[in-house]
Structure 1
């Protein structure tokens, strides 16, 4: 964190902007090259299992650090208005949750990776930690976006309010019992699209 606070906001925001595209580029490359993976059945997190699981684990951690960079930059750049302290706090929790999810992978199951049980596996302690990290991360992002909605309404920034509100709504929707892996992938896509756009927006303010 000391290194992050000593880094210029533009550098932090650049790291934040590429975090999401980096995460999905790594995930898509693995989906296309690792035998047996099916996004309709397996959540992206399951790529962190097996002999090549370390790739996805590193991706989780680096992406989480990118979000923490966004939190630090936001704290340094926005010193007034609604959420000047709360938004960076919850963005930091969002990033930390992703780092935690990366350090503690879920269990092999539903035939992936090759040789894994065909059905659902009993959750190990590290799989539980992974799930908690993911839930905390997306919930924290939702809270940050709700605070930003309030700020946008007060500033009469209609487009910003709608955008932040949409992200919060997506993050808080109940998980589908039958399409959870696809919903998780969509939630992540929305979350990291927002992260990139918000980082770009803040970067413009520095100029």
Structure 2
């Protein structure tokens, strides 16, 4: 008896795109932490991961940031295809901001690269890096708020609340961290970790929204 093997390519592509939303955060954080623990002078309590773009070996973190940004962009497209259009567009903006931040390295920070002491002057590249970072984190927070609305419309109030809380934490963490300078690096860390955790969970949730590619298994 011949089986129905009709295959929905669009559904398969959407699911694959959402899979990158699961991978992006762990990839960025694991690679970044390995670099942080092996680069002389880098202090997790004082320096954000973006500082690893500076000095010898800085290309590795630049590549990490750019590749992770591309993964986030792909996940954003997947979210729009899975009906969460507003959240997906905002996630895509965050991914583009990551790629742009990789093009413009930050300014040196006290203690990193090794031998850097005291305050440094602002450069065009440093200002652009910070500006793209700000645009990205705001977009990330907006994505979480928008997905909260989408979840509410689907009757998932608990998940919607968690998504909105994540958005608030991302926003407050970044703004607070940026305002406090080196002393606020913990806020940046919180924004990054919570943001990527939200992206992972959001991608998993929306993955279930997409029909199985094999029509007979729906």
TM range (shorter): 0.7 to 0.9
Contact kept in structure 1, 2:82 and 2:207, CA below 8 Å: no
Using the size of structure 1 for normalisation, the TM-score is 0.88
CA distance in 1, matches of 2:77, 2:155: 26
SS of equivalent to 1:195: helix
**Number of the residue aligned with 2:183:** 179
Among 58, 76, 81, which residue is 1:76 paired with? 81
**Number of the residue aligned with 1:87:** 87
Q: Deviations over 1:118-138 (max 9, x none)?
A: 112111111111111111111
Listed as ranges, the gaps of 5+ residues in structure 1 are: 79-83
Using the size of structure 2 for normalisation, the TM-score is 0.84
Q: Deviations over 1:73-95 (max 9, x none)?
A: 112221xxxxx432222111111
Aligned pairs for 1:6-21 (under 5 A) are 8-21=13-26
**Number of the residue aligned with 2:142:** 143
Contact kept in structure 2, 1:44 and 1:181, CA below 8 Å: no
CA distance in 1, matches of 2:100, 2:49: 15
Among 169, 174, 195, which residue is 1:191 paired with? 195
Where do 4+ consecutive residues of structure 1 move more than 4 Å?
none
Larger radius of gyration: 2
1:150 is displaced (CA, Å) by: 2.1
Q: How many residues align?
A: 196
**Number of the residue aligned with 2:102:** 102
Cα RMSD after superposing both structures? 1.8
CA distance in 2, matches of 1:88, 1:150: 13
1:103 is displaced (CA, Å) by: 1.3
